[in-house]
Amino acid sequence: MGEFKCGFTSFSVLLLFISFNLVLVHGQLLPIVNDYGENTSQIQIYIVHVLKPVGSNFLSAEDLENWHMSFLPNTTLDTGEPRLLYSYKEAISGFAARLTPAEVRAMENMDGFLDAEPSQRLELQTTYTHELLNLSTLFGAWSTSNSFYGEGIVIGVLDSGIHFPHPSFDDTGMPPRPRGWNASCYLQRPSCNGKVIGAQSFKKGNTTIPPTDIDNGHGTHVAGIAAGNFMDNAEVLGQARGRAAGMAPKAFISVYKVCWADIGCEDSGVLAGIDKAMQDGVHILQMSFGSQKNSLPTSLEGDSVAVATYSAMQKGIFPCTAAGNYGPDPRTLGHAAPWDMVVGATSTDRRIRATVTLGNGKQFHGETAYQPNTVTNKFLPLVFPGSNGQLDQQFCHNNSLNGINVRGKIVMCYIGNLKNIEKGDIVMNAGGAGMILMNYYVPGFTTSSDAHHLPVSHVSDKDAIEIKDYFANSSSPTAKITFGGTIFGARPAPALAYFSSRGPAGYNGNIVKPDVTAPGVNILSAWPVEVGPFPSGLKTKTFNFLSGTSMAAPHVSGIVALIMSKLKNDNKRQWSTSEIQSALITTANTFDLDGKPIFDEATLNSSANILQRGAGQVNATNAMDPGLVYNIEPNEYIAYLCGIFYNNSRTVQKFTKNNTQYCTRSISGEQLNYPSIGIPIKSRLAKITVSRTVTNVGDAREIYNAKIVEPPNVKIDLSQYSLSFTRVEQQITYSITFTMKGAHPGFGVIEQGELSWVSNKHTVTSPIYIAF
């Protein structure tokens, strides 16, 4: 028990703080909760990082919990609620507890205390717009021989739970559970089966709440994208009909409900979910949540997910995160640790067409999922309540249409502030016959095919400008909305969604984030309830369109399952998580289906740059056979963290959980063997050389030649221009030198380039980012 003393040795410090037990407020005696003059409203959940004393080794979970408890003033609050919510075993070294700021300050002097911060609320990254995708045709990954559909791999889905009865989670054709799998499952039927093999919930220490998803739908949707089983005739209100399946239809799903309608996805529960998933033995952590827009991380240690996934990654568990939906502004990423795969969102080439025809004959193609065939082909009066400049009316807020005659008319509303479908309801309740949902300049070209309850067309900013012009210049403006069904071949596609969060992170040593993009606009996947105006409430086979980087990340989680199961089934070495990241990054496409640079939908006519789309659109077929991979050894991450945190060993120990490890070596971000390369050039005379090591996972004998696209102002020289391999797993190290060609273009300017190693079978591309 000697180990536990450390928590108590400094207990006397507490005494120094003891002041009043009662305070007199407005003549009333109010009980207070602790000895520091603090009241109950100051109790918050804190994540507390502690490091085990040197030489200690807790054998049981109970020992660990007792040690964690020894940091707390006592075990329960006056309300009877336990102080300790979670005692973490794997994700971090520490615990979550209900504490006041002064109680935390008292802990700071205890042996082993490292750091404490209030548990933050994270958000799911959907935009509440809705979307679809024929995964098999879009990615072509399954057509590659022996992809095994993710068989044998467990994807841990940390989200809002799952709708068990949905046929996407049917266990037809599933292989037996992994040997030794012992994750618990919520017991009440319907529950786990051969597809969903674990289902647990984490809410402020309460683990007894069912991990069902009826209050949200997000987790069901995400799980369906990553690993939904094959299901014929999937559709939303008759649209986008086809065979639905997740990226890895034979992968297992283990559900961790960490997101709740009332409290969001709170750090303490998220860490508990990661902690449990690691103990259960999942292979992939699928996490479509991140900080709220006003509290984006400003350091690696400020991202609680990054601290926990460091441990996951070291155990070979692949962390996959959503970039965030706070674009198009720069520096809006929710995650940016090198070991977290960070995924941005693109539009696909599919639209659920709703065409606006104006009285002057001009046509504009927008989108909606609800396409009733009862609509007459008649022009109706067009009305724009917001034409007077009133914001409430421009956005068609509730009650803003009072006193405006919209009855039987088509109403123009800007997107924003409310969910699109709610906005349609407001128009409908005010008597409107239809709605033109207009983008303004920020959402640009990104539109959604929502399951509205009245005829709607969601149009781009460009189209909205013309429609507004027509409205302003016409004495009796009219319009009609007609439906074109599901259209493929929309262009440009894929294109970066306006909302996709963009880099740079600014705190990760110029590591390029997001890493890649994946489909994330109007994605069709499983949904717990029927959508549209006439829900029967009876169907279980329901689907919905959703948009967000939330939908992009599970595409990548699924592809990772495909890669892992292929390696397993081919009896090949399992790649490290950094090697899998490398495979995804070096084979992504920076060009769209027409061979043009990926377009940025937040602009009128610009392509997305490296800080916006990362390495580009993930390409599953290519990623399963990358040829070469860049690996990062565990020690390199430590040296990287020492560089990022200026040799502050204590901060680094928060990640490594090892209090005998000190910073003895540091490297800067560009020296990490990351597949993309971010170089800071702060002076005209700078000459920066970095080395990279590749491992051959292609054919034994393969020769690669360098192909370089130089950034406009930077010269790139290589130590060698050809890599000649003679065996599988052979490693070759080369170096790259960056020098300026001309004048320094000014601080804050960015440029991009590429280094590709090209053999007759593989192209291995490192995107290059220059931060001037």
Nearer to ligand NAG, 535 or 742 (CB): 535
Which of 666, 668, 722 has its CA nearest to residue 694? Answer: 722
DSSP string covering 496-540, please? E-TTS-----SSSTT--SS-EEEE-SSEEEE-SS--SSS--S--S
Contact call for residue 13 and ligand NAG (CB under 6 A) = no
Whole-angstrom distance between the N-terminal and C-terminal Cα of the chain? 55
Binding residues for ligand NAG restricted to 615-654, rule: CB under 6 A: 619, 621-622, 643, 646-647
Using a 10 angstrom Cβ sphere, with 0-12 exposed, 13-18 middle and 19 or more buried, the burial of residue 739 is middle
Contact call for residues 517 and 465 (beta carbons, < 8 A): no
Contact call for residues 433 and 409 (beta carbons, < 8 A): yes
From 547, 550, 582, 759, active-site residue? 550
Which of 8, 61, 79, 137 touches ligand NAG (CB under 6 A)? 137
Pairing mode of beta strands 196-201, 687-696: unpaired
Contact call for residues 558 and 155 (beta carbons, < 8 A): yes
The span of 129-137, 272-280, 303-311, 330-338 binding ligand NAG (CB under 6 A) equals 129-137
Distance between CA 172 and CA 181 in Å, rounded? 19
* 646 to 113, 637, 649, 652, 653: CA distances (angstroms): 21, 14, 9, 10, 13
Nearer to ligand NAG, 233 or 661 (CB): 661
Query: Partners of 234 in the beta sheet?
Result: 242
Nearer to ligand NAG, 398 or 478 (CB): 398
Binding residues for ligand NAG restricted to 663-692, rule: CB under 6 A: 663, 666
Nearer to ligand NAG, 314 or 730 (CB): 314
From 159, 425, 463, 515, active-site residue? 159
Contact call for residue 702 and ligand NAG (CB under 6 A) = no
| Least distance between ligand NAG and beta carbon 719 (Å) | 24
Contact call for residue 536 and ligand NAG (CB under 6 A) = no
CA–chain centroid gap for 493, Å, is 21
Nearer to ligand NAG, 295 or 661 (CB): 661
The span of 118-126, 134-142, 167-175, 257-265 binding ligand NAG (CB under 6 A) equals 134-142
If residue 750 lies in a helix (H) or strand (E), which one and from where to where? strand 750-758
| Least distance between ligand NAG and beta carbon 292 (Å) | 22
Q: How many residues comprise the chain?
A: 772
Query: Judged by CB under 6 A, how many residues of this single chain contact ligand NAG?
Result: 47
Q: Residue 71's CB: how many other CB atoms inside 10 A? A: 28
Which of 94, 156, 242, 455 touches ligand NAG (CB under 6 A)? 242
Which of 232, 469, 717, 729 touches ligand NAG (CB under 6 A)? 469
From 163, 166, 218, 397, active-site residue? 218
Measured CA angle at 301 (ends 299, 306), to 5 deg: 105
DSSP string covering 402-415, please? TTS--TTSEEEEE-
Q: Which residues contact 361 (CB under 8 A, 6 or more apart)?
A: none
In the block, tokens 């391999």 appear at: 725
| Least distance between ligand NAG and beta carbon 26 (Å) | 10
Nearer to ligand NAG, 249 or 319 (CB): 249
Distance between CA 586 and CA 351 in Å, rounded? 29
Contact call for residue 22 and ligand NAG (CB under 6 A) = no
Contact call for residues 201 and 209 (beta carbons, < 8 A): yes
Distance between CA 185 and CA 86 in Å, rounded? 19
Contact call for residues 634 and 652 (beta carbons, < 8 A): no
The span of 111-119, 160-168, 254-262, 659-667 binding ligand NAG (CB under 6 A) equals 659-667
Which of 175, 214, 243, 569 touches ligand NAG (CB under 6 A)? 243
Binding residues for ligand NAG restricted to 160-219, rule: CB under 6 A: 182, 184, 206, 208-209
| Least distance between ligand NAG and beta carbon 89 (Å) | 13
Nearer to ligand NAG, 534 or 662 (CB): 662
Which of 736, 594, 592 has its CA nearest to residue 677? Answer: 736
**What would the two tokens of residue 289 be?**
């949540």
CA atoms within a 13 Å half-sphere pointing along the CA-CB vector of 422: 11
Nearer to ligand NAG, 66 or 658 (CB): 658
| Least distance between ligand NAG and beta carbon 13 (Å) | 13
Annotation says 262 is catalytic: no
Which of 233, 661, 724, 735 touches ligand NAG (CB under 6 A)? 661
Nearer to ligand NAG, 478 or 647 (CB): 647
DSSP string covering 555-577, please? HHHHHHHHHHHHHHHTTPPPPPH
Contact call for residue 139 and ligand NAG (CB under 6 A) = yes
Binding residues for ligand NAG restricted to 374-433, rule: CB under 6 A: 398-399, 422, 425-426
Write the interaction track for ligand NAG spanning residues 302-341; mark x where CB under 6 A is met and - where it is not.
Answer: ----------------------------------------
Annotation says 594 is catalytic: no
Distance between CA 209 and CA 515 in Å, rounded? 35
Annotation says 136 is catalytic: no
Contact call for residues 82 and 75 (beta carbons, < 8 A): yes
Alpha-helical regions (H) of 541-689: 549-569, 577-586, 610-613, 620-623, 634-644, 649-656
3-class state of residue 32 by DSSP: coil
| Least distance between ligand NAG and beta carbon 136 (Å) | 4
In the block, tokens 């495979």 appear at: 583
| Least distance between ligand NAG and beta carbon 349 (Å) | 10
Contact call for residue 693 and ligand NAG (CB under 6 A) = no
Distance between CA 630 and CA 611 in Å, rounded? 20
Which of 6, 33, 410, 714 touches ligand NAG (CB under 6 A)? 33
Nearer to ligand NAG, 191 or 666 (CB): 666
DSSP string covering 91-110, please? SSSEEEEEE-HHHHHHHTTS
Write the interaction track for ligand NAG spanning residues 53-92; mark x where CB under 6 A is met and - where it is not.
Answer: --------------------xx-x-x--------------
| Least distance between ligand NAG and beta carbon 727 (Å) | 26
**What would the two tokens of residue 594 be?**
């027409």
Distance between CA 236 and CA 219 in Å, rounded? 18
| Least distance between ligand NAG and beta carbon 658 (Å) | 4
Query: Partners of 196 in the beta sheet?
Result: 253
Distance between CA 287 and CA 309 in Å, rounded? 11
| Least distance between ligand NAG and beta carbon 376 (Å) | 25
| Least distance between ligand NAG and beta carbon 398 (Å) | 4
| Least distance between ligand NAG and beta carbon 40 (Å) | 7
Distance between CA 764 and CA 759 in Å, rounded? 9
Nearer to ligand NAG, 36 or 326 (CB): 36
Nearer to ligand NAG, 621 or 752 (CB): 621
State the residues that interact with ligand NAG by CB under 6 A: 25, 30, 33-35, 39, 41-42, 73-74, 76, 78, 134, 136-140, 182, 184, 206, 208-209, 242-243, 398-399, 422, 425-426, 469, 472-473, 589, 604-605, 619, 621-622, 643, 646-647, 658, 660-661, 663, 666
Tell me the catalytic residues: 159, 218, 550
